[in-house]
A and B are shown apart, each in its own frame.
Chain A
Amino acid sequence: MLGRLILQSWRRQHRRRLLAVITIFLAATLVSALLAVSLDIGDKMARELKSYGANILIEPASRSLLPQLLGESVTVSLANQDALDERELPNIKDIFWRNNIMGFAPELDGELIWQGQRLPVLGTFFDQPIAVPDEPDYHTGQRSISPYWQVQGAWPQDAQPQLLAGQALASRLHWQVGEQLTLAGPAGSHAFTLVGLLHSGGKEDEQLLLPLAFAQQLLGRPQQVDRVRVSALTVPENSLSRKAREDMDALSAEEYDLWYCTAYVSSIAHQLEDALSGSAVRPIWQVAASEGVVIQKIQLLLAVVTLVALLAAAMGIASLMTSNLLERAKEIGLMKALGAELWQIGLLFYAEAALCGLLGGLLGCLAGSGCAWLIGQSLFGTPLAFNLIVVPVVVLLSMVIALLGTWFPARQIARLYPVEVLHGR
C-alpha cells in the first residue's frame, strides 16, 4: 500500500512532486559541478602555472660553478668540471612520478668565437624527440618548459645547424633573422643560420642558443650537460614535505612512504636525484613555492565557495520540502483520523523525500558532470576529470537534506491533533 500511495501521488500530482525533484536536481547539479571542479582544479591550475617555467633544477653534485648574475655579464668558468651524462636523461621519465614530468631541457654553457668575439652560448633542446618506454613520440625541450619565451622568427630545429639569439645580444651585434654565422670553438667550427630572436627577460637575452648536439661538438664536451631544467606537476608543500626537507631521516616509515608517494616538489626532486648519477636536484623555489601558494589559494577559494553553495542548496531544498509538506497537512490529518500510526505517515513522507532526493541527486550528478565538463572545456581546453566519489556524496547529501527538510515540519504537524488540521485550524 505504501508503494501504491507513493506511486499514485507521483503519478497524479506529478507537477508538485516534480517541483521538488527539480529543485533538488538544480541544487545537486550545482554542488556536484562545484565538487568536481574543486577536486580537479589543483591539477588544472598546476598545469596553467607551468607557464612560469621549470620548477626543478638538476646540476652535477660536485658543481662549484660560480653563480650567474641576472643582468651582469655572464662569467662561466670553463675549467672542466663534472657534468651530467646526456645518455641518462631518459631516466627522468622513468621515476615513480614520471607522468607528472611535463618536460625538461638540458643546458650546456660555453663560449664560442664569432669574428674574433667571444660569445656566451647555451646548448639545449628546443623540441627534441626522446626515446621513453611508455610514450613513443615523446619530445621535450625549451618550447614546452619555457612557454614564457617570446621568439621572433622561428624556433630552431634540434637536428639542424640553427641558432636562436637573445634579443640584447642580437641588437648589440646588429644581427637579423636569416643571418649566416660561423661559430668556432675549441673543437672545431660550424656554419649556422640565425632563425629567431628570443625575448625571455632573463639571462638568455644575452646568449646565443643552439641545439645541444652542436654545442657539445663545438665545445668538445660530448654527451655532457651542465644542468637540466625540469617542469613537473606538483602538489603544494605542507608540513610533511617541509619536515622531509629539513631532515629526511626524521621521518617515520609511514611518513616516508606517504611523502615519497605524494607529488611534492621535494619528493620528485629526491627521486630525480636517484635517477641521475652524480646529480644534485633542487626545487626552483621561485616557481615551486609560488605555485603552491597560488594553487592553495584557488583550492581554498573553491572549497569555500562550494561550501557556501552547498549551504544555499541545502536551504533551498529544505524550504521547498517544508512548503511541500505544509501543503499536505490535511492529508496527514486525515491519515491520523483514519488511525494511521505516526511511523506509517512518517514512512510515507520520508520515503517520498528520499525518493525526491535520490532522483534529483542522480540527475543532478549527470547535469553537474556536464557543467564541470563545460567549465573545463571553456577555461582549460580540456574536460575536468569528474571524480566518481562526487556521485555518492551528492546523492546522499540530497537525500539527507530532503529528509531533514521533511523532518522539521513533519514533527510539527504530527504533534497537532487531527481535528486541528482537518478543520483548518
Chain B
Amino acid sequence: MAASHPLFWRLVSRALWTRRSRMLVMFLALWVGAVIICALGAIYLDIDAKMSRELRTFGANLYVGPQAGRVLDEPSWQALDQALPPASRLAAGGFVYGMARLQQESVMLMGANLESMADLAPYWQIQGERLAVSFDERHAMLGKKLAQRLELKPGDTVTLVKGSQRQDLVIKGIVESGDSTDYYLIVNLALAQRWLDSPHRLSHGLLSLDNQQGQVESIAARLQQQFPALEVRPIRKVSANEGAVLFKIQGLMGLICVVILLLSTLCVNTTLMALIGERAREFALQKALGASRQAILRQILAETLLVAAVAALAGLLGGALLAQLLGQTVFSSSIGLRWPVLPLTLGISLLVAALATVMPVRRALALEPARVLKGE
C-alpha cells in the first residue's frame, strides 16, 4: 500500500511545501467555501426560530375571555397561564375595561398588565414614554384620539373622580395604535380593578405564543377543553398568517442558501481544477517514471484532502463567527449552531475537493505522457 510508504508522505508534504503559494490559494478557496456553507447552514437552520420571533411584533395571537354570561377571574386566568407549555409562552396579560369619570368627562378605562404590553402590542406608536412597570399607580397612558379630544399631552395630569375619591395620574405617553385603544385611558390592571370595583375580575386576557409550527390552534383547542368555562380562541388574523409567512421566509432562505451553496462550491471547484490541472506535466512525469494511475491519484488526493480538511475545520470556526456576526447584525441575537452544520460543512468541503482533484488528474493521466512532457 503506497499510502503507508514513508516516501508517499514525503512526496505529499514536499508538494505542499514547495508549492505553498498555490496551496495557500487552494486553502483560501476551500476555506471561504467552508465558511459560507457553515454560516449559511447555521442561519438556515435557525431562521424559523428567528423570524417567528420577529413575527411576534404582530402582537398577541391567543384570546381568552369568559363564556357568555360568565366572568373571567384572576385565579382561573392564572390557572390557564400555568397550564401553558412554558416553552411556547412568550407573554401574557389580562385586561379589564370599564367607564370612569375624569374631571372633564367620562372615558373608557383600560386596565392592563403594562409590563407585558411591550410584547403583546409592540406595534403601539408611543409619543412620550412607555409605561412598563406593573406597580406604577401614579402614571397613565392615553389613547391618541382621547388625548386629542381632551387636548392633553405627555406630562399633563388627569384626575379620576369617583364620588369623593380622587386619583391624580400623570400622562406618561400617548398611544397610537389605529384601533380602539386610541380611545382609552390606559392604567395598570390593579388600579383599574380597584377603581372599577371589580377586584380579581378580567374582561379578557391576551397571550403571545410561539407559533413556529402553527401550534397556537392546537394549544387553543386543548385549553378550551381544559377550561370549559372560558372562551379560548386564536386571534386568527395574527396566528393564521404566521405559519404562511414563516414558510415563505424559510423557503426563500432555503432557496437562496441552495443557490449560494451550489455556485460557491462550483467556484471553489473551478479554482481547484485550475490549480491541479496546472500540474499535468508533473503527473505525466510520474507516469513516465512508472507510477500507476492509482498511486498518482492517491498522492494528489491525499494532498488536496489534507488541505481541504484543514480548510473545512478553519471554515467551521470562521463560519460560526460569521453566523454570529450576521445574527447580531440582522436579529440582534446570536445564531444557534446546530449539529447538522458540522457534517454538512466537512462533507461538502471534502467532496468538492475530491471531485476537483479527480477530474483534472484523470484528464491529465489520460493523455500520453510524452505529449504532456513535450509541453502541450
Contact = CB atoms under 8 A, between A and B. Distances in A.
Interface string B263-277: 110111011011101
Interface in B162-182: 176-182
A246 interface: yes
B237 A289 contact: no
A23 interface: yes
Interface in B47-91: 51, 54-55, 57-59, 63, 65, 68
A70 interface: yes
Interface stretch (A101-109, A210-218, A303-311): A303-311
Contact of B234 (A71, A172, A201, A324): A201
Contact of A200 (B180, B237, B251, B326): B237
A140 B105 CA distance: 40
Contacts of B260: 30, 34, 305, 309, 312
Interface in A142-166: 146, 148-150
Contacts of A293: 54, 57, 122
A323 B267 contact: no
Interface of B: 21-22, 25-26, 28-29, 32-33, 35-36, 39-40, 43, 51, 54-55, 57-59, 63, 65, 68, 97, 108, 121-125, 127, 176-184, 203-204, 231, 233-241, 244-245, 248-249, 251-253, 255-256, 259-260, 263-264, 266-268, 270-271, 273-275, 277-278, 322, 326, 329-331
Contacts of B264: 30, 309, 312-313, 316
Interface in A5-46: 16, 19-20, 22-23, 26-27, 29-30, 33-34, 37, 41, 45
B170 to A, nearest CB: 21
A283 interface: yes
A41 B267 contact: no
B186 to A, nearest CB: 12
A333 to B, nearest CB: 15
11 contacts: A26-B263, A45-B248, A49-B245, A150-B240, A286-B58, A286-B123, A286-B179, A288-B178, A294-B57, A300-B329, A316-B271
Interface stretch (A121-129, A338-346, A374-382): A374-382
A45 B51 CA distance: 13
A319 B275 CA distance: 10
Given A45-B248, A379-B248, A69 B180 contact: yes
A298 B256 CA distance: 13
Nearest to B127: A246
B54 A297 contact: yes
B274 A71 contact: no
Contacts of B25: 319, 322-323, 326
Question: Which 9 residue pairs across A and B have the least CB separation, nearest first?
Answer: A201-B236, A67-B180, A316-B267, A284-B178, A289-B123, A30-B263, A71-B65, A290-B57, A23-B270
Contacts of B28: 315, 319
B326 A304 contact: yes
A57 B271 CA distance: 57
Contact of B273 (A19, A66, A205, A308): A19
Given A30-B259, A309-B36, A309-B260, A297 B245 contact: no
Contacts of A297: 51, 54, 330-331
Contacts of B181: 67
A202 B33 CA distance: 50
Interface range for A: 35 or more
B270 A286 contact: no
B54 A150 contact: no
A327 interface: yes
Given A148-B236, A301-B330, A68 B180 contact: yes
Given A172-B68, A202-B236, A312-B36, 14 more contacts: A19-B274, A51-B244, A66-B108, A67-B184, A202-B237, A285-B177, A286-B123, A289-B122, A293-B57, A293-B122, A302-B256, A304-B329, A316-B264, A323-B22
Contacts of A205: 233
A69 B203 contact: yes
Given A308-B326, A316-B29, A324-B274, A70 B63 contact: yes
Contacts of A316: 29, 32, 264, 267-268, 270-271
A366 to B, nearest CB: 14
A53 interface: yes
Among B25, B28, B256, which residue has the most Cβ atoms of chain A within 10 A?
B256
B352 to A, nearest CB: 12
Nearest to B97: A69
Contacts of B255: 374-375, 378-379
A324 to B, nearest CB: 6
A285 B330 contact: no
A19 B271 CA distance: 8
Contacts of A30: 259-260, 263-264
A270 interface: no
A309 B204 CA distance: 49
Interface string A344-380: 0000000000000000000000000001001100111
